[in-house]
């Protein structure tokens, strides 16, 4: 079975600042980017995890994630099935006192040891900022590449 990896190039979107992930509240976060230092602000979180199961129903996983946020799903669907299964959501939820819109992209593939690797790319912004900063998230996504690992 081929192995895949995701290359996250550069320093994130132009104008965004990396901040250390909070291991207590988000133990699977690799990197967090914020649009503005002061909250509320746009945020991109990159998470990865290994799930002790050979395959994951990525659609069910995404919907359960939305339920944990008490989010309203405005759009969802498969983006691709090969080489890696990818599922995306657009959603709305409340964070503190702020109405937030967001996009969540979930990618999963099996591993050689019978687990599943899950990569999550999470974008959220206050509703009033969403349309303005969404193109910056799209630009960030264009720098990501899923490649077959040679070794």
pLDDT band, residue 83 (cuts 50/70/90): confident
User: Is the separation of the CB atoms in 110 and 102 below 8 Å?
Assistant: no
Domains delineated in the chain: 3-125 (3.40.1000.10)
Is this structure's pTM higher than 0.95?
Answer: no
Query: Which is higher by pLDDT, 142 or 57?
Result: 57
pLDDT value, residue 40: 86
Q: Does the pLDDT of residue 120 top 90, yes or no?
A: yes
Report, as an integer, the average pLDDT of 39-54. 88
Residue 150, pLDDT score: 46
What's the pLDDT score for residue 30? 86
* pLDDT classification of 53: cutoffs 50, 70, 90: confident
As a whole number of angstroms, the distance between CA 31 and CA 12 comes to: 10
Q: Is the dihedral of CA 79, 88, 33, 84 positive or negative?
A: negative
Q: How confident is the model over 3-26, as a mean pLDDT?
A: 76
User: How far is it, in rounded angstroms, from Cα 134 to Cα 82?
Assistant: 25
How many Cβ atoms sit within 10 Å of the Cβ of residue 41? 18
Q: Tell which phi-psi region holds residue 69, choosing left (phi > 0), alpha (psi between -120 and 50) or beta.
A: alpha
């Amino acid at each position: 079975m081929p192995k895949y990896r995701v290359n996250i190039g550069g320093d994130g979107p132009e104008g965004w600042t990396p901040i250390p992930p909070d291991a207590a509240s988000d133990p699977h976060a690799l990197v967090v980017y914020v649009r503005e230092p002061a909250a509320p602000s746009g945020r991109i979180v990159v998470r990865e995890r290994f799930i002790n199961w050979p395959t994951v129903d990525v659609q069910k996983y995404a919907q359960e994630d939305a339920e944990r946020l008490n989010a309203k799903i405005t759009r969802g669907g498969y983006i691709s099935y090969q080489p890696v299964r990818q599922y995306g959501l657009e959603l709305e939820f409340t964070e503190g006192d702020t109405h937030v819109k967001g996009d969540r992209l979930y990618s999963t593939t099996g591993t050689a040891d019978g687990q599943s690797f899950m990569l999550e790319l999470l974008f959220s912004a206050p509703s009033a900022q969403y349309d303005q900063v969404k193109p910056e998230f799209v630009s960030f996504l264009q720098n990501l590449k899923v490649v077959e690992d040679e070794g």
